[in-house]
Chains A and B, each alone.
Chain A
Amino acid sequence: MTTAFAIGQPTDRVDGRHKVTGDAHYSADIHLDAMAYAVLAGARVPSGRVTAIDTTEAMDARGVLAVLTHENLPRIATQPPLIPSLAGMPAPGQTFFPLQNEVVHYTGQPVAVVVADTLERAQHAAALVRVTYEETPSVTTLDQGRDRAYEPEAIFAGFVPGRNERGDVEAGLAQADVRIDATYTYAANNHNPIEPSATTATWDGDQLTLYDATQGVAATQLTVAALLGLTPSKVRVVSHFVGGSFGCKAMIWAHPALAALASRHTGRPVRLTLTREQMFTSVGHREEQEQRITLGATREGRLTALRHHKLSPTSHFDDWAEPSLGVAGQIYACPNYEGVYRLFRANTMTPTFMRAPGEASGMFALECAMDELAHQLGIDPVELRLRNYTDTDPNTGNPWSSCGLRECYQRGAERFGWQRRNPEPGSHRDGDWLIGYGMATAGYPVYGPNNPQRARARLYADGSAVIQAATPDFGTGVATAMTQVAADALGLPVERCRFEGGDTTLPTIAAAVGSAGAGMISAAVHTAATNLRDELVAQAVGDAESPLHGADPGTVVVRDGRMTLRDLPETGESYQDLLHRHFLPDVEAAGAWSPSPRSAGEYGMMTFGAQFAEVAVDPWLGLARVRRMVGAFAPGRVLNAKTARSQLMGGMLWGLGQALLEANYMDPRRGRWVASSLGDYLVAVNADAPEVDVELIEVEDKVVNPLGVKGVGEVGQVGAAAAVANAVHHATGRRVRKAPITIEDLL
């Protein structure tokens, strides 16, 4: 039996000292002897072809080692299909690899790779590559593409059907006493982690090593191996520190393979770092979208129908839309439902996962529509949601594996002081500021990997342990949480355990995406560590010299590095004594975990929460300021209360940004993003961020994985933007059906 001593504690991050001293080495901090620098040059037109490319001036510039274009770059071996990296297969972000021919599909598509002996020289030479284009008409915005939209068979790399229906939505609308029919627009978003994507590549004979900023080292390894025609055993990927991702490092884009090719071509280690501007055109984005919601409800507020249609642009290569209709179609009891995705081809890259991919935008639309319904019916927004609460997944009728949503509403409302809210919009004031209270439901699916997740645990004769699994830590705190998981499984103090990750030479873990990391990695680590513990206990009970000799292993417990009888704690011995007696320098065990195929068939699996926000609006200046946020979440078991709260808080503040700040727009004349810097693409800064109150509601979940962990990476963001937008309505009486809501919307 494992008792939680370390799990759940607010342990400080184990890598904290590295991060505060500048001693944490991210992928662009790796320095190799004779390293050269690669810089990408991107297409300046959104559509057409390269008719001429003159590299003479660039090649003649000081320090230049190579200029690679479609005319001289080796062709890729194979283009793997687009499969989300959680599946553990090669995971290209799009099924298009640049520099294979002269065709241009989107602005910023790489047209040259320049390699020089210093960064400055490579940057300068990249500006000297002269490219001539023949430009053809482009499509980049919703308004340009609306008329050519089609209904795809499936989206999200084929994993989500293009249409999902239950019941009869027309009949449901006909039964309704009231209807809401509203269209919400959502601007494109860019992830913008502060670390730009970077790969440092080096060859030793035919062995390639990549230091890559990635959410999954195996994803980089398998993708680059496929593109370059190498066996994966010849590709090692190392990623010890990753400076944020939020989805843009979840899939593998062109730059790691280009860094490898540039290194092979020049015979030197090569570092390729994307510029901030290139981060807008190289690693995917959340697509611009329009969602139309039609709700039907009884006078008592019970939903009779939900129709949810989405329109969005995708690339010329892939049918991609983030699954905005997923959670929004499952969160409430509603017998009649219709969800439909429509796409059109545009001159952009394939959009990609971005934090709460789909749920952030879909629940923005649904939860704003629910607020409109509450207002129209004169029902309190929390009460309206309780009336539509469901304890089964409406798609299947299966019970939730665990829920906690009612407690989230209740505790969140208490902490927020929701009962002080006068439902009349514009009724709260603070001087010139109009004050609004808004709320929304949060939900995020519990995803599992497709293949076994592996870990290894080794106990040394000095009584310390190392636990290994190939996951990188990109800020989630996984290294800290896994140290805690291993400590409890082995019965060791946390300080005696160390976690090693971020290297394909370690046991394989799929990319940590979709809030699945904590659940699947803890499962692997727990399994490996309990296997090791069981092995040690078995040795002890089989050892005539051990005080535990002959005991039933099931009656042995481990704590503080000692194995003892549960009912006779004085009887036992330390791991150290056992290992020393047998001249063992260490004992090691592996562990693997795969989700049970039963669980998905018999249960609905979702993480729930409730969001509350107070917003102040200055109607004369159009300013909107979020004054405080309260979120209550039920993420199953919490592995580390400190890092979990931080991640949820970060998600909620992302929701604030989504509601009031974050937007990118295509200039339809030029076919390029209007914002290409952090001066133009606004993210929340310290002055935007209010105090955030995160309430953790632990629910026991025996289905999702061995420790019952449901994850906290995304759910904090879901619904947060809607809570802010609903608070803006409550403050002003104005219903702004778009994200972000900006000054001009409020004047």
Chain B
Amino acid sequence: MSATRHPSRVAEAPVLPERGPGPVKVTLTVNGTEHALELEPRVSLLDALRERLHLTGAKKGCDQGTCGACTVWVDQRRTLSCLTLAITCEGREVTTVEGLAEDGELHAMQRAFIEQDAFQCGYCTPGQIMSAVALLEEGHASDDAEIREWMSGNICRCAAYPNIRAAVRAVRDQA
């Protein structure tokens, strides 16, 4: 992984004190709110969100990094929270699907998912939406072929894929 692509990840990592294996203090900033938690270092970001903060929007579909249902943003980048330790997110901004709507006003992508029927059971939907919003910001939605490729980390077993693409297109074309 080159330093030019991800400067924030490699810039002079400080030597961290050893913590754990028992519970340690971990401060997480989620959707703009700071939370002080006692977590074992082995706790994943997904489990910290779901089981400690009761933010259950991010879903556990596989716990193996294959399905994308747990997708959240860490410092605005889409991240598989099941493969991320919560303790590594200290000092970072975590955003979950619960943080997407503003003052009860749905994000355009959330509205588009409803209008285009881009889900059935809804279980993968939070991850799909977090990926779909990030996709537009990354500039990976120029045409359907690109959307298909860059949305393929999020499995929808109901196979709402054509409707998911329609939702992404709709928001892209509003902008």
Contacts and interface: CB of A to CB of B under 8 A. Distances in A.
Nearest to B58: A22
A28 to B, nearest CB: 7
A255 B147 CA distance: 38
Given A25-B56, A196-B61, A276-B62, A120 B47 contact: yes
Nearest to B42: A120
B66 A653 contact: no
Question: What range describes how many residues of B lie at the interface?
Answer: 35 or more
Contacts, number: 178
Contacts of A379: none
Contacts of B113: 16, 20
Contacts of B119: 16, 19-20, 475
A683 B155 contact: yes
Given A20-B110, A21-B100, A677-B64, A686 B161 contact: yes
A476 B158 CA distance: 10
B96 A22 contact: yes
Nearest to A26: B123
A529 to B, nearest CB: 25
Main secondary structure of the interface of B (DSSP, over half): loop
Given A242-B121, A646-B163, A16 B114 contact: yes
A24 B123 CA distance: 9
Interface stretch (B4-12, B73-81, B124-132): B124-132
A649 B162 contact: yes
Contact of B59 (A195, A474, A692): A195
Contact of B117 (A194, A246, A642): A642
B91 interface: no
Given A475-B122, A679-B64, A12 B59 contact: no
B158 A29 contact: no
A643 B117 contact: yes
B97 interface: yes
B170 interface: no
A243 B100 contact: no
Contacts of A244: 120-121, 123, 157-158
Contacts of A12: 114-115, 117
B137 interface: no
Contact of A646 (B40, B56, B160): B160
Nearest to B150: A686
Nearest to A276: B62
A17 B152 CA distance: 24
Given A22-B56, A195-B61, A678 B66 contact: yes
A588 to B, nearest CB: 30
Interface string A117-156: 0111000000000000000000000000000000000000
B88 to A, nearest CB: 16
B123 A243 contact: yes
Which 10 pairs, one residue from A and one from B, show the smallest C-beta to C-beta distance?
A22-B57, A243-B123, A475-B121, A19-B122, A475-B120, A653-B159, A689-B161, A29-B56, A16-B114, A22-B97
28 contacts: A17-B106, A19-B119, A20-B113, A23-B57, A26-B59, A28-B60, A31-B56, A120-B40, A193-B121, A193-B157, A195-B59, A195-B61, A195-B123, A243-B59, A243-B121, A243-B124, A246-B157, A276-B62, A474-B121, A475-B120, A477-B120, A646-B163, A650-B158, A677-B64, A685-B155, A686-B147, A689-B162, A692-B162
